[in-house]
């Protein structure tokens, strides 16, 4: 009888308070006035995020079975999770990633602080990979994602003309802005660049471009060699700044390569003669693969070249105002002559001699290594920047250099945070602003650099995690901080409720709005030992006296030292209650623009976990937040769709009113038509609707996200572009 009365009260309240028709801007694509006008596809979960399990193995044998740190980062540098991995035990974690995240970086850091990384496409719920000691040439630092990830074009799409080479000496013309796709094998052919320019895609093996006629090719021309292709050129002179060569396969120049345009190498590029980068373009020449030059590489006036991977060059000259940027590994077989600037962020090795002319500089950054046999001339300077780097001179130094330092007031040649390794004692006047002589600087080995010296690995608390990798170096019970949805003051997520379950509400999704950020602390074995976080009551737009709690995926008996909340009695799992009546927590609704607006009320919490689960089982997510109607009774719990009730929920309410929950079917908190009573949004500052405004009248792309089953408009809640939201119906 009591249950029937409460259901009637809920239904009457709904009609009395929210019976008026909602208005607002149409979304322009689906003709809906309210959320319940949208047809919900079968099986739709209402989740803007998804669980992704990472299983990362370590194959780096340099440190026996010592602990390496594995971390998962977003492409914007956001840390999602980290923990321990050894040769015998991979790192496993489960992260609740927003659906808008399509790729992440997985970074392995060894005890000596050397690291490798791999960019990973997030295309499934389970991702397994292994990381060794060497950095993949295409890898990027997870906190430095300025590089590009190159995807090779092919000859199956985007072609205005397709040509199959069937015999030698065929002529191929590229003109009028057309894209010509060329396929075949073991053929010799000619290319003519006609007026209007265009694109030539080459997809084949054993192909030779014998003649390239560009007499009438004044417009932009792009030559693309696709992945898996093998193409040879004779001497090639890309003498116009509008010409571009992009190689994703294997390209060989039997003679010289001269370029005033751009050459971007993502595959293997070999120039048997000289490689001349001329002054038509100031930047854009890059190597992201393997570059081999059999002659001299000349970086000429007003140009720059960037090596992001591996380059082996017989002789290097950076002439006039040219700039060479080395971000990985550069091997100069004989000698190098620098007129202007060489920027080294990785490893440079010069086989015979280095000459730095007047006003020239070799800049070294953050632990870079420069090795040369002889230092023949140094009219300019070696300059250290942002972290100590090493200059190693294995042969001799020109005596004139030492004499110059003794006889002049500006003889300092090594400036800034540098260590200079040389067999004989050098005069102090060669050094300035922190540069010193020495050979013991530790530089961690990677796939770009062989490194230098020996690392002194410390583990103060003896938990097996070196101090440099340990967030708690003096606490053997703790090792790593993991965050959901990420660290930093701007990170957070939100859960928003309708409070009239089991009767449908008005779907303004503002009856209870809680934002939060969680930190999960794990030990050296990746077991959860502590949970901390902050919840913020943003709005209490509902009419009922609602309480709020969170169920965590551990047994109640394993939780202790609860701070900031109450560990609820009578529960099988750990349930932390923050409040039992939101009206007593915040006197203003924070949903009505005509009323005073209060700041969010914060609830910091923490608790310890004994004999905790592995992080892969505990996960990183919102867990199981819920509200309940205090007046109706503790059993009136409202959860996110699909989430199970706690031990104190009244399951006899399932299937009543507008609810279609079924314990037997494993279906929870969803209506027969597929509508929820709560949604989770992976942003801290979720701009919820004003009182009485259906959420589809505020978020105009939400209906298309729903009808697509969550595959389209995955950023419906965060995109502020045209057509995405009606701000007049949003409270903030």
Tokens of 590: 């924070």
For residue 447, the model assigns a pLDDT of 79
Distance CA 338, CA 355 (A): 6
Residue 249 and residue 267 in contact, taking contact as beta carbons nearer than 8 Å: yes
- Radius of gyration of the chain from Cα atoms? 32
For residue 401, the model assigns a pLDDT of 61
Parallel, antiparallel, or unpaired for β 678-681 and 493-497? Answer: antiparallel
Ranges of residues in the chain with a pLDDT under 70 are 1-29, 134-150, 214-218, 235-239, 279-283, 399-411
Q: Catalogue all structural domains in the chain, each as residue range(s) with its CATH number.
A: 2-22+478-689 (no CATH), 49-131 (2.60.40.10)
Distance CA 347, CA 135 (A): 13
Task: Express each pLDDT in 69-92 by its tens digit.
Answer: 999 999 888 899 999 999 999 999
**Helix or strand holding residue 406 (H, E):** helix 399-407
For residue 270, the model assigns a pLDDT of 97
For residue 428, the model assigns a pLDDT of 87
**DSSP category for residue 228:** T
For residue 193, the model assigns a pLDDT of 83
- φ, ψ of residue 429 in degrees (nearest 5): -70, -10
**pTM as predicted:** 0.67
Tokens of 5: 């009365």
| Closest of 162, 170, 203, 163 to residue 187, by C-alpha | 170
Tokens of 550: 């969170």
**What sign for the dihedral angle of Cα 414, 416, 421, 427?**
positive
Q: Helix or strand or coil: residue 409?
A: coil
Using CA atoms of 690, 695, 699, 704 in order, give the dihedral in degrees to the nearest 10.
180
Residue that the structure tokens 């080294």 belong to: 344
Distance CA 382, CA 360 (A): 9
Tokens of 687: 């701009």
Residue 552 and residue 531 in contact, taking contact as beta carbons nearer than 8 Å: yes
Give me the sheet containing 79-85, strands edge to edge.
79-85, 68-74, 103-109, 115-121
């Amino acid at each position: 009888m009591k249950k029937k009365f409460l259901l009637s009260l809920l239904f009457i309240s709904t009609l009395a308070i929210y019976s008026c028709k909602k208005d607002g801007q149409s979304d322009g694509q689906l003709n809906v006035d309210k959320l319940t006008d949208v047809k919900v596809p079968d099986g739709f979960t209402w989740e803007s995020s998804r669980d992704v399990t990472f299983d990362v193995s370590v194959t780096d044998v340099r440190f026996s079975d010592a602990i390496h740190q594995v971390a998962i980062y977003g492409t914007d540098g956001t840390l999602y999770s980290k923990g321990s991995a050894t040769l015998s035990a991979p790192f496993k974690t489960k992260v609740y990633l927003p659906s808008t995240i399509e790729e992440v970086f997985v970074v392995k850091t060894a005890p000596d602080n050397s690291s490798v990384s791999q960019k990973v496409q997030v295309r499934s719920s389970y991702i397994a990979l292994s990381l060794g000691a060497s950095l993949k040439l295409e890898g990027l630092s997870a906190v430095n994602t300025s590089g590009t990830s190159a995807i090779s074009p092919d000859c199956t799409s985007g072609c205005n003309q397709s040509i199959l080479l069937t015999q030698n000496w065929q002529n191929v013309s590229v003109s009028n802005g057309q894209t010509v796709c060329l396929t075949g094998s073991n053929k010799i052919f000619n290319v003519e660049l006609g007026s209007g320019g265009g694109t030539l895609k080459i997809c084949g093996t054993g192909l030779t471009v014998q003649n390239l006629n560009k007499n009438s090719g004044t417009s932009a021309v792009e030559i693309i060699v696709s992945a898996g292709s093998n193409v040879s050129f004779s001497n090639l002179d890309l003498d116009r700044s509008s010409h571009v060569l992009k190689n994703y396969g294997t390209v060989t120049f039997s003679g010289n390569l001269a370029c005033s345009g751009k050459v971007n190498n993502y595959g293997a590029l070999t120039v048997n003669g000289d490689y001349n980068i001329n002054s038509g373009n100031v930047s854009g020449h890059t190597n992201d693969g393997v570059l081999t030059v059999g002659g001299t590489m000349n970086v000429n006036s007003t140009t720059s070249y960037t090596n992001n991977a591996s380059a082996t060059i017989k002789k290097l000259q950076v002439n006039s105002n040219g700039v060479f940027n080395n971000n990985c590994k550069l091997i100069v077989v004989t000698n190098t002559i620098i007129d202007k600037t060489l920027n080294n962020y990785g490893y440079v090795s010069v086989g015979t001699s280095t000459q730095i002319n007047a006003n020239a500089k070799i800049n070294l950054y953050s632990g870079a290594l420069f090795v040369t046999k002889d230092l023949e001339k140094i009219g300019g300077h070696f300059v250290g920047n942002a972290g100590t780097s090493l200059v190693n001179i294995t042969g001799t130094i020109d005596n004139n250099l030492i004499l110059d330092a003794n006889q002049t007031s500006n003889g300092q040649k090594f400036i800034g945070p540098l260590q200079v390794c040389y067999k004989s004692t050098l005069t102090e006047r060669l050094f300035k602003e922190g540069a010193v002589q020495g050979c013991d600087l530790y530089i961690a080995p990677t796939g770009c650099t062989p490194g230098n010296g020996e690392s002194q690995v410390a583990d103060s608390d003896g938990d097996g995690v070196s101090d440099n990798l340990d967030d708690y170096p003096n606490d053997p019970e703790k090792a790593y901080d993991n965050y959901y949805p990420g660290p930093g003051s701007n990170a957070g997520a939100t859960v928003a409720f309708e409070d009239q379950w089991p009767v449908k509400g008005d779907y303004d999704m503002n009856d209870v709005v809680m934002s939060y950020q969680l930190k999960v602390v794990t030990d050296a074995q990746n077991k959860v030992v502590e949970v901390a976080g902050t919840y913020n009551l943003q709005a209490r737009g509902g009419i009922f006296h609602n309480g709020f709690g969170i169920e965590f995926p551990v047994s109640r008996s394993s939780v202790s030292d609860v701070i900031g909340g109450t560990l609820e009695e009578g529960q099988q799992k750990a349930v932390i209650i923050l409040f039992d009546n939101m009206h007593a927590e915040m006197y203003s609704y924070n949903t009505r623009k005509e009323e005073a607006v209060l700041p969010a009320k914060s609830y910091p919490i923490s608790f310890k976990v004994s004999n905790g689960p592995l992080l892969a089982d505990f996960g990183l997510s919102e867990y199981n937040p819920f509200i309940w109607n205090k007046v109706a009774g503790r059993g009136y719990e409202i959860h996110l769709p699909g989430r199970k009730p706690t031990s104190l929920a009244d399951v006899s309410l399932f299937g009543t009113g507008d609810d279609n929950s079924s314990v037997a079917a494993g279906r929870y908190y969803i209506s027969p038509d597929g509508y929820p009573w709560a949604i989770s949004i992976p942003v801290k500052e979720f701009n919820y609707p004003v009182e009485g405004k259906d959420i589809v009248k505020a978020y105009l792309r939400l209906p298309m996200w729903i009808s697509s089953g969550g595959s389209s408009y995955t950023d419906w809640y965060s995109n502020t572009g045209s057509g995405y939201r009606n701000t007049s119906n949003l409270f903030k």
